[in-house]
Homo-oligomer: A and B are copies of this chain.
Amino acid sequence: MQWTKVLGLGLGAAALLGLGIILGHFAIPKKANSLAPQDLDLEILETVMGQLDAHRIRENLRELSREPHLASSPRDEDLVQLLLQRWKDPESGLDSAEASTYEVLLSFPSQEQPNVVDIVGPTGGIIHSCHRTEENVTGEQGGPDVVQPYAAYAPSGTPQGLLVYANRGAEEDFKELQTQGIKLEGTIALTRYGGVGRGAKAVNAAKHGVAGVLVYTDPADINDGLSSPDETFPNSWYLPPSGVERGSYYEYFGDPLTPYLPAVPSSFRVDLANVSGFPPIPTQPIGFQDARDLLCQVNVSVYNRLELRNSSNVLGIIRGAVEPDRYVLYGNHRDSWVHGAVDPSSGTAVLLELSRVLGTLLKKGTWRPRRSIVFASWGAEEFGLIGSTEFTEEFFNKLQERTVAYINVDISVFANATLRVQGTPPVQSVVFSATKEIRSPGPGDLSIYDNWIRYFNRSSPVYGLVPSLGSLGAGSDYAPFVHFLGISSMDIAYTYDRSKTSARIYPTYHTAFDTFDYVDKFLDPGFSSHQAVARTAGSVILRLSDSFFLPLKVSDYSETLRSFLQAAQQDLGALLEQHSISLGPLVTAVEKFEAEAAALGQRISTLQKGSPDPLQVRMLNDQLMLLERTFLNPRAFPEERYYSHVLWAPRTGSVVTFPGLSNACSRARDTASGSEAWAEVQRQLSIVVTALEGAAATLRPVADL
């Protein structure tokens, strides 16, 4: 059987040459269509599931995490070449692949002048110096390529002052200290990771006159309380006392010098003096070993430097046979803080295995997807999702017009208990369909779906008990896709059993202990969770790229809208009424959306029973694909860079409802009726009503006025 397929491809290729160069990639020859089924081919799906190989993922990970590969470092560039080589492989590569490079502003500690944290005695002498590097426990924590722990984008400076413990560095924490009569002016604040964003700790501290900030990882937050060397890595998955979490302290995402513009060399760059979003005061992360020893007067010396560096994305494509202009986009970042075996190489190891399996089917002539599949390896994510953001800025319109969905697999395995998916509502059904058909790793004979529902579940008014999807914040490269472009997105990983650990995140996160052995011994021995993620992502990608009808269920947005509405009614309704603001139009808009989404679902069901024309299905799929775009309003939140999605923009208020409404209410709450803040509440309400009415209008039969 293999022979006839190879022969078929040979003829197809000859036909392609015959059509000549002019046709280029556009005119996919008819012959190629014969490879592409009209619809998802379950046999192909099964083949792919079977070929995704845990051992190969393990080997990928070993190679990817062999050396530290900080963004723009020589090893990061080596991995660009590795990806290009894999994706151009004649036997298991894609149709084409290329690297594209941006010139972006990164931040590094000085090699000559390391950052220093010292305890200073009453006479000015140094009593204790914090560790400048992590302890070389496994032989991988030493050497020049292990970047010193630092807070990227924190300004340099050498503040000295009394140490004040400020909990998590939240606004409330500093207010509490003030209430206790503690003078904050000129102090060094010791804060622990968690609670608020990294950069926010320094922003909050600076408001109170604090001169410098230290951020440590508390054993209570990361190690389930354990802290001694014999209880930590390499004896367990817990963080050694010397471990320090690195990270970006930049408030926004994307290259700091080129907001809304691609960071190509010719693009305009904001003057450094006008850049916003960097921490206002020197900041340095430390390990809990040092945190424990800190007292009294502390001297912090930060010598971070900003540098313009070249950082590359690598993009590979499998051209769609029937609808090449519809992109199923699947990506992960490549850069790590040190070896980054978990973050991000566990995702890249899966990405490479998936591209190998699909590439092999492609090169053998067994399969070509209906729609195009784009694989992406993003650069400089750790510094603020820079590679992916610049990509969305450079190809804004093209991506917005054509992208079916974005699938992100960053850390593929945090732990090996259960699947965890974050996503916009239309992706729920395709993830459910995929996971019901894949066996879960671990004991028992459960599907990934059935295992998942044991850990994360909710009671849906429509479906009953189902696994619960989380919502997408801005924790990885999906952020510019969902918030800036309005593309249906998801992030897939395997994660913890929360009854077994309360670790804020896997303990060696962003430290030099995040190594291959750590994964191999503690996180996922046997790599079966990696394989489960590969299968889940693979099945989702195949379903999105091959199904005749796009498996995006827009009516699943109705549940979200209804719950947002109910929260607004219950928790804000009385307040709004006091200020003569009616939720009536919002109720109407949600009802319209529900009705139109249900009616569209009916039309799809009816059509699926017949033998619909491909053009008819294309028109319907366009409605499904473009629904998410209708929730974008670039003028809704002018102060929130990149956030245009009126349902998923950051929410500061405690009520889980439409973010613009929630935030505006928080601000207006203590002002009088008729204030500007209350006008803003009304404006935000109109923005979301208009978006929902517009969304309902796009779901109506297309020739209805």
A620 at the interface (CB under 8 A from B): yes
A679 at the interface (CB under 8 A from B): yes
Q: How far is the CA of A18 from the CA of B153 in the complex (A)?
A: 67
Q: Write the chain B residue with the least CB distance to A683.
A: B268
A267 at the interface (CB under 8 A from B): yes
Residues of B within 8 A of A258 (CB): 686
Q: Do A398 and B27 touch (CB < 8 A)?
A: no
Q: Are A703 and B268 also in contact (CB < 8 A) when A401-B698, A606-B22, A629-B397 are? A: no
Q: Pick out which of these stretches binds chain B: A155-163, A205-213, A322-330, A550-558.
A: A322-330
Contact of A23 among B262, B317, B606 (CB under 8 A): B606
A607 at the interface (CB under 8 A from B): yes
Q: Do A268 and B679 touch (CB < 8 A)?
A: yes
Q: Are A324 and B619 also in contact (CB < 8 A) when A25-B703, A397-B698, A603-B26 are? A: yes
Q: Write the chain B residue with the least CB distance to A258.
A: B686
A517 at the interface (CB under 8 A from B): no
Q: How far is the CA of A686 from the CA of B258 in the complex (A)?
A: 10
**Interface range, A side:** 35 or more
Q: How far is the CA of A25 from the CA of B317 in the complex (A)?
A: 37
Residues of B within 8 A of A316 (CB): 705
A522-550 CB contact bits vs B (8 Å, 1 = yes)?
A: 00000000000000000000000000000
Q: Pick out which of these stretches binds chain B: A120-128, A388-396, A429-437, A465-473.
A: A388-396
Contact of A325 among B323, B612, B630, B703 (CB under 8 A): B703
CB distance from A618 to the nearest CB of B (A): 6
A320 at the interface (CB under 8 A from B): yes
A459 at the interface (CB under 8 A from B): no
Which residues of A307-360 have CB atoms within 8 Å of chain B's CB atoms? 315-317, 319-320, 322-325
Q: Are A398 and B698 also in contact (CB < 8 A) when A317-B703, A602-B22 are? A: yes
Residues of B within 8 A of A602 (CB): 22
Residues of B within 8 A of A626 (CB): 397, 401
Which residues of A592-639 have CB atoms within 8 Å of chain B's CB atoms? 599, 602-603, 606-607, 612-616, 618-620, 622-623, 626, 629-630, 632, 634-635
Residues of B within 8 A of A24 (CB): 599, 603, 701, 704
A225 at the interface (CB under 8 A from B): no
Q: How far is the CA of A534 from the CA of B698 in the complex (A)?
A: 31
A306 at the interface (CB under 8 A from B): no
Q: Are A703 and B634 also in contact (CB < 8 A) when A599-B24, A603-B24 are? A: no
CB distance from A665 to the nearest CB of B (A): 14
Q: Do B603 and A705 touch (CB < 8 A)?
A: no
Q: Do B694 and A396 touch (CB < 8 A)?
A: yes
Residues of B within 8 A of A682 (CB): 268
Q: Do A614 and B616 touch (CB < 8 A)?
A: no
A98 at the interface (CB under 8 A from B): yes
Q: Do B690 and A374 touch (CB < 8 A)?
A: no
Q: Write the chain B residue with the least CB distance to A625.
A: B401
Contact of A26 among B372, B394, B683, B701 (CB under 8 A): B701
A71-110 CB contact bits vs B (8 Å, 1 = yes)?
A: 0000000000000000000000001111010000000000
A651 at the interface (CB under 8 A from B): no
A266 at the interface (CB under 8 A from B): yes
A584 at the interface (CB under 8 A from B): yes
Residues of B within 8 A of A693 (CB): 262, 394
CB distance from A94 to the nearest CB of B (A): 10
CB distance from A407 to the nearest CB of B (A): 17
CB distance from A133 to the nearest CB of B (A): 40
Residues of B within 8 A of A615 (CB): 322-323, 614-615, 618
A689 at the interface (CB under 8 A from B): yes
A260 at the interface (CB under 8 A from B): yes
Q: How far is the CA of A122 from the CA of B160 in the complex (A)?
A: 78
Q: Are A398 and B584 also in contact (CB < 8 A) when A268-B686, A317-B703, A702-B26 are? A: no
Chain B CB within 10 Å, residue with most, of A97, A264, A620, A702: A702
Q: Do A395 and B324 touch (CB < 8 A)?
A: no
A685 at the interface (CB under 8 A from B): yes
Q: How far is the CA of A603 from the CA of B612 in the complex (A)?
A: 28
Residues of B within 8 A of A474 (CB): none
Q: Write the chain B residue with the least CB distance to A322.
A: B615
Residues of B within 8 A of A98 (CB): 705
CB distance from A699 to the nearest CB of B (A): 10
A368-389 CB contact bits vs B (8 Å, 1 = yes)?
A: 0000101000000000000000
Chain B CB within 10 Å, residue with most, of A26, A623, A689, A703: A703
Residues of B within 8 A of A607 (CB): 27
Chain B CB within 10 Å, residue with most, of A316, A619, A687: A619
Q: How far is the CA of A27 from the CA of B610 in the complex (A)?
A: 11
Contact of A22 among B582, B603, B686 (CB under 8 A): B603
A25-60 CB contact bits vs B (8 Å, 1 = yes)?
A: 111101000000000000000000000000000000
Residues of B within 8 A of A396 (CB): 694
Q: Write the chain B residue with the least CB distance to A316.
A: B705
Q: Do A96 and B705 touch (CB < 8 A)?
A: yes
A677 at the interface (CB under 8 A from B): no
Q: Are A397 and B619 also in contact (CB < 8 A) when A26-B603, A584-B266, A685-B268 are? A: no
Can you list 13 A-B pairs, Cβ within 8 angstroms, ordered by A? A23-B606, A24-B704, A27-B612, A28-B616, A95-B703, A96-B705, A260-B635, A267-B686, A316-B705, A320-B703, A325-B619, A396-B694, A397-B695
